[in-house]
Amino acid sequence: MRTTVRTLLTIIGFVTCGAPTASSATLLNQTINAAITISGEDDNGFYTLGVFNGAISVGAGFTKDVSVFKQLTEDGFATQSNQILGDVLVNITANAISVTMRGQVQPFELESVFTGIGVGNPHGAIVGDIDSATGVMSGVNLDLFHTFSADSLDFATFYLGYQPGTNLNQTETLTFGVVPATPLPSTWSMMLLGLAGLGFVAFRGTKNRSAAVAVS
């Protein structure tokens, strides 16, 4: 009986060691939603220029370069120097989302909102965000803000005036909670089989001891 118990314990130990281990969530292979907009004001009032709005299938990584253009009117003039003209580069890796404004800018805010991150997997929620920026120029542009929730991210840069050679990158590096491992069906089957075997051995042992007591 001792040999049988040792064998069953060995099987259970093998199954446990072979079971999937907990891992950290990433942005890879997720489908998330993005809303990136430029907003400002000219002689005609407030305006919003949509850069990107829709679902993103991140896959093994995502990069998209979107051209942006808007003719503004300032002090009654609609000239080339009053244009928004350039491109917005969006890049998503395993744990970071970055948005870069390149080209000619005017006074406006570039806001990026990402939602649906880790939906259906609350244990892989966002638990931390580190904001960083390159290309910031005092008196010209600034890293405006960044906020996050368990499944969303909102960040923005601001441009103070006309600047023909902007190249401002804002990056959010995320920390995720740990995703618990989900045992495979075969793992559950082997564990149940091992437990059933232990139960049977325990039952046999009790029966044999009862019989021995009765004989004595």
CATH classification at residue 78: 2.60.220
Same domain, 103 and 14: no
**17 and 30 within one domain:** no
Chain-wide mean pLDDT for the chain?
A: 84
pLDDT number for residue 188: 46
Looking at the fold, whether 85 and 134 belong to one and the same domain comes out as yes
Same domain membership, residue 43 and residue 14: no
Assess whether pLDDT exceeds 80 at residue 70.
yes
DSSP alpha helices (H): ranges in the chain?
2-18, 185-215
- Are residues 119 and 36 located together in one domain of the fold? yes
Question: What is the domain range of residue 69?
Answer: 24-179
Contact 114, 33 (CB under 8 A): yes
Number of domains in the chain: 2
At 124 the three-state DSSP class reads: helix
- Token pair, residue 38, equals 């430029």
Q: Do 53 and 146 belong together in one domain?
A: yes
**Is residue 11 scored above 70 in pLDDT?**
no
Shared domain for 7 and 110, answered yes or no, is no
Q: Are residues 130 and 203 in the same domain?
A: no
pLDDT at 15: 47
Mean pLDDT of 25-40: 95
Which tokens hold the place of 59?
């896959």
pLDDT at 177: 87
Rounded to two decimals, what is the model's pTM? 0.74
The verdict on 73 and 132 lying in the same domain is yes
φ/ψ (deg, to 5) at 5:
-60, -45
Considering the domain architecture, whether residues 60 and 6 belong to the same structural domain is answered as: no
Cβ count within 10 A of residue 185? 8
Residues 171 and 206 in one domain: no
Q: Are both 165 and 205 inside the same structural domain?
A: no
Is the pLDDT at 25 greater than 90, yes or no? no
Give the pLDDT confidence score for residue 81 in this predicted structure.
96
pLDDT top residue among 81 and 181: 81
Instruction: For 33-66, write each residue's pLDDT tens digit.
Output: 999 999 999 999 999 999 999 999 999 999 999 9
On the question of pLDDT at 10 being above 60, the answer is no
Residue 118 banded pLDDT, cuts 50, 70, 90: confident
